Structure 1
Amino acid sequence: MRPHTAAQIQPFGRKAKARILALMRHNAALAEQVQLAPDKQGVDEIIWEYPAAIAAIIGMLIMPPKSAREFIGRMMCTVLSSVILGPLLTIWVITRQPGLLAQAVQVAAHTGVTEDLHSVMGLFYVMGPWMLSAGLPVWWILGEAWMRWPQRMQEQGIPSWVAEMEGNISGK
């Protein structure tokens, strides 16, 4: 991996943010189409363009790891955070939006899975985005704070870092 300048990185960041916002708008439009569909045929006619797996790649695209060690550490912590915090976040969302799970089960009923899997798939539809939301911040925080902090300390030196922190704390 080669270093990039801010002038090289910023246009990519703006394009990535625009793409993420476009995908979020598309997701909201799809959710509205599902709610407004009068029957199964109406849901079947909706065009589902983007695979859900693309969201998992966003973290690595925005802040890629610099080494295999960093990738493994960040991946393990991200998965652990998703597994622990994701269900809690999902429960919180479902208690705030009780109709969300019922709507997800209705969407699952139109996917072609057997009837006994509708509720499981509906829960997966609700839980998946929240598990991802619980894990991505850990990916980004670890990338900056834990993995790259030692490198910064080595480059900057502990005495100058301590002086910088004292200045930040005292407001100087």
Structure 2
Amino acid sequence: MPIETTTAGGAALVKIFGVPVLAGAAATALVFLFMWPRTLHEAFLRLASTIAVSSIFGPVAVMMLHSWWPSLFDSSKAVVTMYGADPAMGVLFVAGPVMALAGLPAWWIVGGLVRWLDKRRHKDLGELAHDAAEVVRDVRGAL
């Protein structure tokens, strides 16, 4: 029996899989403006981590926002309906930016970690642990 594809099925796939990936890509594009990667390898690591974190923690952030501020989602559905679109698209108006923002910390953390490790390229694991302990002591002393 052949599998039929429809526009509704394609739209459902985009909603399920496309939104997290697009949100992660949007987050990555935003932070490219502020902290450009030095190498192609660093760019790939940071892009992949941003998309992964956005895909994992973005839906959780959207659910938390929905439980805290449900009228926002109702308003977005009303706005989309005014333009003649499917009310379910209103959720994407809110979910897209929230999911993009959820991926931003990964870009910064991975970028900082890559640069920290790059400065210590020729050290062994013990020396890296010693350096990390010094950083923790400095931060605790500053607080």
Same fold (TM over 0.5): yes
CA separation in 1, counterparts of 2:98 and 2:32?
18
Distance 1:96 1:126, change over 3 A: same
Question: Which amino acid in 2 is paired with 1:132?
Answer: A
Aligned-pair distance for 1:153? 1.4
Root-mean-square deviation (Å) = 2.9
Per the alignment, residue 27 of structure 1 pairs with none
Per the alignment, residue 34 of structure 1 pairs with none
Structure 2 unaligned blocks of 5 or more: 1-24
CA separation in 2, counterparts of 1:123 and 1:141?
29
CA separation in 2, counterparts of 1:166 and 1:118?
49
CA separation in 2, counterparts of 1:136 and 1:63?
11
Q: How does 1:11-26 map to 2 (within 5 A)?
A: none
Aligned-pair distance for 1:166? 6.8
Aligned-pair distance for 1:154? 3.1
The equivalent position to 2:103 in structure 1, one of 128, 135, 144, is 135
Structure with more contact order per residue of length (Cα contacts < 8 Å, sep ≥ 6): 2
Question: Which amino acid in 1 is paired with 2:104?
Answer: L
Distance 1:170 1:142, change over 3 A: closer
**Identity of aligned pairs, percent?**
30
TM-score by length of 1: 0.57
Distance 1:143 1:83, change over 3 A: same
Q: What's the CA shift string for 1:106-139, capped at 9, x where partnerless?
A: 12123343xxx222x1110111111011101111
Per the alignment, residue 72 of structure 2 pairs with 100
Q: How does 1:2-151 map to 2 (within 5 A)?
A: 57-113=29-85, 117-119=86-88, 121-145=89-113, 147-151=114-118
CA separation in 1, counterparts of 2:92 and 2:30?
20
TM-score by length of 2: 0.67
Aligned-pair distance for 1:85? 0.5
CA separation in 2, counterparts of 1:66 and 1:103?
42
What is the aligned length?
115
Distance 1:168 1:131, change over 3 A: same
CA separation in 2, counterparts of 1:107 and 1:156?
57
Aligned-pair distance for 1:155? 7.8
Per the alignment, residue 14 of structure 1 pairs with none
Mapped pair 1:165 → 2:135: yes
Structure 1 unaligned blocks of 5 or more: 1-52
